[in-house]
């Protein structure tokens, strides 16, 4: 019971790695509070998580909604022990695609702005909302979802990689700013992980992912959740400003 009774907030907690993280923390005794934009999935997740869990429909782009969520949690529990900034999306496209000297396709401004708003500004919004409470209570853990793509780069993901690289930078800044208050800030960088997003991909693409991963398989959401659990626990009490790769050994682009 490594996180027994710790009030743990998880964004994007209704599916994929977020749900696996919520389940893992619940197993270890946490009071789990998830948010997501998908109400149906969120309600279903809470049924699986049990009595010490709750769901809020929150869009992390909306600063007021995020603030209201945090205040409601504080009113209910009096504290926030762990924040997992997991919510994120993909809108992949090439920067520019040319044919016969003409631009035939490119990443749109809408695709760029949407991914930035959720994956990067959403992390900023949630962390800024929860930090004052953690400072007042003199402790806390903030965990941010980045990606091996944010460290290595990947074709067709200008927007996504801008956010995931940015999250790494913010993680290091916040570790410095908040360490004096006994608040630890770390990031987890998953590799190719078998979530709902991958299920829609062609089999040859999935096989290519496996072939490029030295361990020869895709990661499981629970394996990423285990990394979050470790970093949230007292076992990681002297770890801050770190980026933990959970990727089967992959280096993207090789």
Residues designated as active site: 160
Region label for 29, one of left (φ > 0), alpha (ψ between -120 and 50) or beta (otherwise): left
Strand partners, 57: 36
d(CA 140, CA 176): 14
Residue 201: how many other CB atoms lie within 10 Å: 11
Place of tokens 């619940």: 26
Cα–Cα distance list, 245 to 40, 46, 125 (Å): 31, 28, 24
Residues recorded for the chain: 254
């Amino acid at each position: 019971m490594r996180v027994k009774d710790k009030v743990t907030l998880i964004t994007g907690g209704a599916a994929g790695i977020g749900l696996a993280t919520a389940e893992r923390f619940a197993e270890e005794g946490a009071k789990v509070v998830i948010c997501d934009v998908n109400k149906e999935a969120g309600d279903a997740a809470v049924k699986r998580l049990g009595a010490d869990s709750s769901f809020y429909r929150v869009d992390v782009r909306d600063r007021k909604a995020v603030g209201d969520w945090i205040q409601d949690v504080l009113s209910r529990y009096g504290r926030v022990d762990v924040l997992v900034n997991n919510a994120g999306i993909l809108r992949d496209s090439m920067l520019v695609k040319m044919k016969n000297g003409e631009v035939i396709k490119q990443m749109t401004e809408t695709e760029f702005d949407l991914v930035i708003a959720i994956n990067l500004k959403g992390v900023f919004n949630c962390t800024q909302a929860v930090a004052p409470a953690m400072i007042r209570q003199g402790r806390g853990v903030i965990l941010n979802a980045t990606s091996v793509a944010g460290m290595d780069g990947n074709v067709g993901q200008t927007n996504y990689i801008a956010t995931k690289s940015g999250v790494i930078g913010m993680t290091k800044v916040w570790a410095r700013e908040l360490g004096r208050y006994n608040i630890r800030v770390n990031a987890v960088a998953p590799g190719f992980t078998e979530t709902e997003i991958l299920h829609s991909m062609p089999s040859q693409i999935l096989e290519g992912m496996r072939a490029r991963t030295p361990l020869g398989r895709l990661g499981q959401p629970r394996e990423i959740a285990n990394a979050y659990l470790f970093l949230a626990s007292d076992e990681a009490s002297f770890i801050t400003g770190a980026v933990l790769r959970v990727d089967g050994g992959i280096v993207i682009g090789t």
